[in-house]
């Protein structure tokens, strides 16, 4: 499961809302706060870049599918005008499924050029979704 931004933020809230019992004081609580802080920082990056990354990725997948439609049987790549993370993720899931089926057909046919183009695109997808870890203090 890949948690959504709202899932992470609600989890952080639930983790910190109740006072901890005495046995969770000290180092345990410090570790808990550090994890919540790190998740909050990563969630902030996702909030800042998430919509743009999904819009860019969805458009690029549609372009790959459209380009391949002359040589392969490709599903219609429906999009969404809604810019919520949930709507963009739902469209992205459909597009990724179509891209995976295209990639399987490309591999089965031995289409090396298109196979390499899809692999390069997978790397670009990962870069679009990259979250940067902050420098953490050493202990």
Whether residue 109 is contained in a domain is answered as yes
Task: To the nearest 10°, report the CA torsion of 10, 47, 2, 96.
Answer: 150
* Residue 133 falls inside a structural domain: no
Asked if residue 33 belongs to a domain, the reply is yes
* pLDDT tens sequence across 76-115: 777 778 889 889 999 999 999 999 999 999 999 999 999 9
Answer yes or no: is 135 within a domain: no
SS3 track for 39-92: HHHHHHHHHHHHHHHHHHHHHHHHHHHHHHCCCCCCCCCCCCCCCCHHHHHHHH
DSSP string, 2-20: ---HHHHHHHHHHHHHSPP
Specify if 69 maps to a domain.
Answer: yes
Determine, yes or no, domain membership for 81: yes
Identify whether 52 is part of a domain. yes
SS3 call for 34? helix
pTM of the model: 0.81
How far from 87 is each of 9, 37, 62, 130, 133, CA to CA, in Å? Answer: 18, 27, 16, 20, 27
124 CB neighbour count, 10 Å cutoff? 13
Please give the structure tokens belonging to residue 67: 């380009």
In the block, residue with structure tokens 């990962």: 126
pLDDT at 1: 56
Which residues constitute the domain of residue 83?
A: 5-128
pLDDT for 28 equals 86
Domain annotation covers residue 137 = no
Number of domains in the chain: 1
Alpha-carbon gap, residue 123 to 126, rounded angstroms? 5
Determine the 3-state secondary structure of 30 from DSSP.
Answer: helix
Please tell me which residue, 77 or 57, carries the higher pLDDT value: 57
Nearest to 51 by CA among 82, 20, 7: 82
């Amino acid at each position: 499961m890949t948690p959504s931004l709202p899932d992470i933020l609600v989890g952080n809230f639930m983790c910190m809302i109740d006072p901890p019992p005495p046995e969770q004081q000290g180092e345990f609580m410090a570790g808990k706060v550090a994890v919540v802080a790190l998740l909050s920082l990563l969630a902030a990056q996702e909030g800042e870049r998430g919509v743009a990354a999904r819009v860019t990725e969805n458009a690029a997948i549609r372009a790959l599918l459209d380009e391949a439609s002359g040589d392969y049987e490709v599903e219609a790549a429906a999009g969404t005008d809604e810019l919520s993370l949930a709507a963009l993720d739902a469209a992205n899931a459909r597009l990724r499924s179509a891209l995976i089926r295209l990639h399987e057909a490309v591999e089965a046919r031995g289409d090396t050029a298109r196979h390499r183009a899809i692999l390069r695109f997978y790397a670009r997808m990962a870069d679009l979704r990259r979250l940067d870890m902050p420098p953490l203090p050493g202990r």
